[in-house]
Amino acid sequence: MLTTTPALPPLVDLAVLTELEEQLNDPRTARAFARDYIQGFEDRYLRLHGSIGNRDLPAALEAALSLRDASIMVGAARLSAMATILESAVASEDLGAARHVLPAIERCGLDTISELEARYLASP
């Protein structure tokens, strides 16, 4: 019997960024948002890591929501899905599961940054 693994969401959904450009009526503003997202990733990740390490559930939940929402807005589909999983673990007070997903979130965040830089910010 063959089993299929669910497809992973894309690292970056460029359609989200195109829609943001149209909504803002200025691609420069959307690109600035993407750059700000990239610059803010490390701080968001460190907040997540620190709050989970300190067992500060309210701060961990806030950090997970921040990462999820910002990722949705910039089209980081895979990272927003992972942040949702982390959010559920924190909300159910399962810090073991939250700690387990942190390295994958960090790796996905770095891959997302590379993808944004190569496929969105590097294009004219």
pLDDT of 36 reads 97
4 lies in some domain: no
pLDDT of 1 reads 52
Give the separation between CA 106 and CA 23, rounded to whole angstroms. Answer: 30
6 lies in some domain: no
71 lies in some domain: yes
Give the separation between CA 120 and CA 7, rounded to whole angstroms. Answer: 23
pLDDT single digits (tens) 71-102: 999 999 999 999 999 999 999 999 999 999 99
Token pair 């968001």 is found at: 44
pLDDT grade, residue 2 (50/70/90)? Answer: low
- Domain range holding 37? 14-121
What is the count of structural domains for the chain?
A: 1
